Amino acid sequence: MNNKIDILALSGSLRADSFNAKLLAAAQNQAPAGATIEIYDYRDVPLYDGDVEVRDYPKAAQALKDRIRKADALLIATPEYNYSVPGVLKNVLDWVSRPYGDSALAGKPLAIIGGGGGQGTNRAQDHLRQIAHGLDMQVVRRPEIFIANVWGKFDENGTLADPIANKLIAELLGNLAGMARAAQAGDVKAAA
């Protein structure tokens, strides 16, 4: 009997029509058996400020931190901004990694997808993997999913209409759920 897996999804884009948010919606439709995917809107988290952290840790950052703690795994869909991750995404990762020694991210299983221009966010994803390494997260290594020219991959209803992308997302989510179950079982070696 498989345990339930609670996957929390973050989009690196705050745009209402974001293709990366749509990739998360596509992932929701392909959640593995026993897993749920909730997309979290973090736009009310302020800019990181070390003085504010010490004085009055923001409620919106604390709410995200608590929600991440509760989740079994994270799924991030990131665009590429100037060869890296959007600042808004890095900002919330910074907040929930604080205070020092009390990160919500250490050990958390993470899967990454992204859609953008000709290189399909590969440079942003490389940076995100490095950030996740610094945060001591457990990153699903394969498949890597770089959706190039993402604006052409959706039909008129906003549904991801690329069969290869859909298949890879299903595979990635299966691996993420497997990693999360291994982590739940305390099997750190398998989870890593």
> Which residue's C-beta sits nearest to ligand FMN?
117
CB 100 to ligand FMN: min, Å: 30
**Does residue 80 bind ligand FMN (CB under 6 A)?**
yes
- Determine the Cα–Cα distance for residues 60 and 48; give it in Å rounded to an integer: 12
How many CB atoms neighbour CB 52 within 10 A? Answer: 14
CB 168 to ligand FMN: min, Å: 18
Report phi then psi at 129, rounded to 5.
-65, -40
Largest Cα separation within the chain, whole Å, is 49
Q: Select from 15-23, 105-113, 125-133, 181-189 the region that touches ligand FMN (CB under 6 A).
A: 15-23
- Residue 87 zone, left/alpha/beta (φ > 0; ψ -120 to 50; rest): alpha
**Does residue 157 bind ligand FMN (CB under 6 A)?**
no
**Does residue 58 bind ligand FMN (CB under 6 A)?**
no
The single residue among 9, 19, 72, 179 that binds ligand FMN, judged by CB under 6 A, is 19
Q: Judged by CB, which is closer to ligand FMN: 35, or 113?
A: 113
The single residue among 69, 83, 158, 190 that binds ligand FMN, judged by CB under 6 A, is 83
| Binding track over 111-150 against ligand FMN, x by CB under 6 A | -----xx-x-------------------------------
**Does residue 20 bind ligand FMN (CB under 6 A)?**
yes
- Determine the Cα–Cα distance for residues 115 and 22; give it in Å rounded to an integer: 10
Q: Which helix (H) or strand (E) holds 115?
A: strand 109-115
CA dihedral 123, 28, 43, 103 (to 10 degrees): -70
List the structure tokens of 159. 């549904």
List the beta bridge partners of residue 35. Answer: 5
What is the contact surface with ligand FMN in residues (CB under 6 A)? Answer: 13, 15, 18-20, 79-83, 116-117, 119
